[in-house]
Amino acid sequence: MNMNEKFQKALAREPQAVPPIWFMRQAGRYHQHYQKIRAKHSFMEMCKDPVLAAEVALGPIMDFDFDVSILFSDLLFPLEAMGMGLKYEPGPQLGWHLSAERLKDLKRVDEALPALQFQKQAAIETRKVLPQHKSLIGFVGGPWTLFTYAVEGAHKGGLEASKAALHLFKPFCEILLPLLKANIQLQLDGGAEVIMLFDTSAGELSPALYREIVAPPLAELARAFPKRLGYYAKGIQAAHLRHAVFSDPSLLAGLGFDHRWEITDSLRDYKVGFVQGNFDQALLFMEPGTFVAQVERYLAEVRKLPIEARGGWVSGLGHGVLPGTPEANVRTLVKMIREVLS
């Protein structure tokens, strides 16, 4: 299997001056390559046609020279596979919302898994077209985030309905986790080197509640795939991560951090694997001259670190490339990361 050398070094926390680069949502609406494909195909077609998914994922690799490609898909497809229905108009809409009465309607893993086979084939097709020196990662939604979408249909506000339905989270996970494990294995079998768990709703929980209900299913997934899963949660704090799954070096492959964290502190404090992040994605909308000054300020703090202390860093954004982001600033950021830190 062809892989990116810098990404493999980051996974092993080997010292290197210049980190591998990948941005969440690097294949997205800001990019002309994506827009041209989207003009001819629905979002669902782009995800479920493996050849199209590979073409979308390849675009930013060839344009911006990211080191790592990510499977082009959506984190809600397990819910669709479980029988909840899914359409995009243009945002996601489930056919029904989870309740105590409807738990029984969720399909179990054996019945649901065939509906996710396209992700394995999409990973295979993406690996086929990627240059030999690029890596491929996959992703699934974190259990808590999938639960909030199942209950509310979206990530919105303070997730009042999801929190009022906390008693459903454990029985939901009893059905979901076997499917997620099988889904992760599909993507690994397709050629993904690491699978990211994106838990974008987790920051809406208090640290204590997060550690009590969210961390245990994450630990179960990490034990099933030791050193193959990365984890990112938007808006969490250090207190959320005071659980063994985030300190045991034999479990997770790495952690992602948004722009609310100091990347230098994250590299120092978290040694479970790679540390991914975390330039503020909104700063990419700045006028070019002002933007360059912000990037220089950000990278100056990392440049002060000895090379040994930079080991494990996977450079990226705080959350992901936003729609409307100027492509020129994306190119500038990638170029400056490599030039300033070399």
Range 5-341: architecture per CATH: Alpha-Beta Barrel (3.20)
In tens, the pLDDT along 145-196 reads 999 999 998 777 789 999 999 999 999 999 999 999 999 999 999 999 999 9
Predicted local distance difference test score (pLDDT) of residue 158: 85
Query: Does residue 278 carry a pLDDT above 80?
Result: yes
Predicted local distance difference test score (pLDDT) of residue 288: 94
Domain limits, the chain: 5-341
Give me the percent of the chain exceeding a pLDDT of 70. 100
Please provide the average confidence, as pLDDT, over all residues in the chain: 96
Predicted local distance difference test score (pLDDT) of residue 15: 95
In tens, the pLDDT along 27-51 reads 999 999 999 999 999 999 999 999 9
Distance CA 340, CA 84 (A): 48
Predicted local distance difference test score (pLDDT) of residue 267: 96
Query: Does residue 316 carry a pLDDT above 80?
Result: yes
Predicted local distance difference test score (pLDDT) of residue 78: 98
In tens, the pLDDT along 246-271 reads 999 999 999 999 999 999 999 999 99
Predicted local distance difference test score (pLDDT) of residue 157: 78
Task: Give 156 or 329, the one with higher predicted confidence.
Answer: 329
Predicted local distance difference test score (pLDDT) of residue 124: 98
Query: Does residue 117 carry a pLDDT above 80?
Result: yes
